[in-house]
Structure 1
Amino acid sequence: MEFSFTNDIDGNMVKSMLGRHGISKRLLAKVKFDGGRISVNGIERNAIYRLRKDDVVTLTVPDEPNNEKLLPEEVPLNILFEDEHYLVVEKPAGKPSITGSLHPVGAMSNAIKGYITQKNYPNQTVHIITRLDRDTSGLMFFAKHRYAHALMVQHRYRDTLEKRYFALVSSEGLPDKGKMDWPIGRRDDSIIQRQVRFDGQAKSALTTFEVADRKNGLALVDVTLHTGRTHQIRVHFSHLGYPLIGDDLYGGNHELIKRQALHCHHLQFLHPFTEQMVQVELELPDDIKNLLSV
């Protein structure tokens, strides 16, 4: 892939100018050693070449090779957004985001690998930007090349990333809206569970919510994550005294549903290449929707 940039500082080195555009030293090394190219006004140059104002730098990034350790699986995908840089798809409940040593197949990463293999895209590496717990359903966000991924972790674009979830909790006594600003850390007796704790082992965590519907003694809450701690929504609602329906890890049970009733329904981000705001919505899955039917 090729990306072009116009220099605005006289005497600037190529690597410094590219760094301001999110091109990391690691990516420049890939360009240098893996068959890429840097050109200035159409003439090949190196990373320490001194630029004049208005010089046009073109970076040719080598294609990313196939990762043979990640096995492709051809499974149907519900694609909600796709362009040459990004991909947003639906993850069903029960499917992990990534593979593990004991489970080399069956994850969303396998499904995306199968998709890009089938499409024969030039970049064959899977880049996950946002992931979900195995039993959480909803929107997952992928980058289709390393530069697109690198840009989305920079503050300018990362800070525009908004994820909202629908969750089901008991309706009794729950306020119409709320803010949960409680730090979260790992439980001392578990490698999986997290808890609200107020010591040096915890990190700040902020969750806000607003009730979208109340039916059958249940409240459908629209939840916004302002930080990204592990199990954040589940831990915060449990600490509030309203564990998610179906979340037996944090105080719920499986009487109504066999998994935590949590679904990522909204994803929003400022697109680094178009500078346009992208918004993607996904309706509730049937297992949660059925609990709200009259």
Structure 2
Amino acid sequence: MPGKLIPPENGDRFAAAIIWLRNVLGVPPKLLLTLENEGGIKLAGDRLRLHLFPPKQSQYEPHAHELTVLYEDDFCLVVHKPVGVKVHPDGADRRPTLANMVAALYSERNEAVAPAHIHRLDEFTSGPVLYAKNEYAHLKLDEAMSRKEIGRRYVAFVQGIVDPTLTIIDQPIGKDRHHNQRRRVSPTGKPAVTRVEVAEQYSSASLVRLKLETGRTHQIRVHMSYAGHPLLGDDIYGGSTALISHQALHGESLSFRHPLTGEMIHVTDPWPTAMNILRGQLLASKT
């Protein structure tokens, strides 16, 4: 409801609406052009009607599975990704992915919605994953992601006693030509910055909280290994699997500005059981 719009010189109310949508609401140019061409903008007195929610079917086959929804409205969806689940199919195996589970969520509701993920998590990293439920949200959230305006905070158990003076790791990351699955710190890699905060120290391990300023593949795992503190359970990067069989890494929270209202949304994701058990074991070994 933009209220009364004053037509520009040599323009009409529709032209005024286009200006308002572009300059005030911030509708991405690509979507604005689509809405214009497809008749998706309607004037009704002092109101605008926008066709932002066309029915859309997911490209992924629905696979019913217990799914924890952490946040949802007409524009955004945030769900918990469990350990051992990929964000989307990659052709390597036929196990259901988070994309299949999200598709099933809307199939069961009989809603023609096909959310698109905005970021990814490693297969064996748990935590919140943000989805856009329509093209407007998708374009706005993609823009926010490219501007590093989507905050992601993680918690990890790592080997050794981390020095509290280790607060930032600023090292470029590239592919490891000797190992297809690995990444490594490399002068020719892409810039990567991880902020580190020591939360707890045990007899031979530490709990750290981490904030990503970039989103390179395996960034936390590579940076912490480079710093001499590989994640517990992360055998690819030198971590011990004695107490946990996968990397002890969990996305604790996700923050982003709502694509329509601009309100800051903060979503937290409770620790999975394996992380709580691991912490209990480390605390017990300290006493």
Mean Cα deviation higher: 265-274 or 105-114: 265-274
CA distance in 2 between counterparts of 1:41 and 1:273 reads 20
Corresponding residue number in structure 2 for 1:23: 28
Q: Provide the residue aligned with 2:96 in structure 1.
A: 106
Q: Is 1:264 paired with 2:255? A: no
Q: 1:136 corresponds to which residue?
A: 125
Shift of 1:237: 0.6
Asked if structure 2 preserves the Cα contact closer than 8 Å seen for 1:157 and 1:269, the reply is: no
Question: In structure 1, how many angstroms separate the alpha carbons of the residues matched to 2:174 and 2:244?
Answer: 27
Counterpart residue identity of residue 214, structure 1 = Q
Identity %: 33
Structure 1 or 2: larger helix share? 2
Q: Which residue of 1 aligns with 2:224?
A: 237
CA distance in 2, matches of 1:95, 1:156: 23
Alignment counterpart, residue 162 of structure 1, candidates 118, 141, 151:
151
User: For this pair of structures, how many residues does the alignment match?
Assistant: 274
Sort the Cα spacing of 1:292 and 1:5 in 2 relative to 1 into closer, same or farther, 3 A: farther
Deviation sequence 1:67-98 (CA, Å, 0-9, x none) = 3x411011111111111111111111001111
Q: Note closer, same or farther for the CA distance 1:8–1:260 as it changes in structure 2 (3 Å cut).
A: farther
> Which position in structure 2 is the counterpart of 1:65?
56
2:206 aligned residue (219, 222, 229): 219
Q: Are residues 16 and 25 of structure 1, via their aligned partners in 2, closer, same or farther at CA, if it must alter by over 3 Å? A: farther
1:251 to 2:242 alignment: no
Deviation at 1:182, TM superposition (A): 0.7
1:125 is matched with which residue? 114
Mean alpha-carbon deviation: is it higher for 190-199 or for 13-22? 13-22
Report the equivalent of 2:40: 37
Give the structure 2 partner of residue 172 of structure 1: 161
Q: Among 134, 137, 152, which residue is 1:148 paired with?
A: 137
Query: Which residue identity does 1:38 align to in structure 2?
Result: I
Q: Which has the higher strand share?
A: 1
CA contact (8 A) 2:162 2:206 kept: no
Cα contact 1:270–1:276 (8 A) shared by 2: yes
Structure 1 portions without partners, runs of 5+? 43-54
- RMSD in angstroms over aligned alpha carbons? 2.7
Distance 1:9 1:128 in 2: 38
CA distance in 1, matches of 2:200, 2:191: 29
TM-score (norm 2): 0.84
Structure 1 residue 159 displacement after superposition:
3.7
Question: Following the alignment from structure 1 to structure 2, what is the Cα–Cα distance between the partners of residues 250 and 72?
Answer: 34
Contact 2:162–2:198 (8 Å) recurs in 1: no
Contact 2:234 2:248 in 1 (8 A): yes
Aligned to 2:85: 95
What stretches of structure 2 of length at least 5 have no aligned partner?
Answer: none
Flag the 1:81–1:138 CA change in 2: closer, same or farther, 3 A. Answer: same
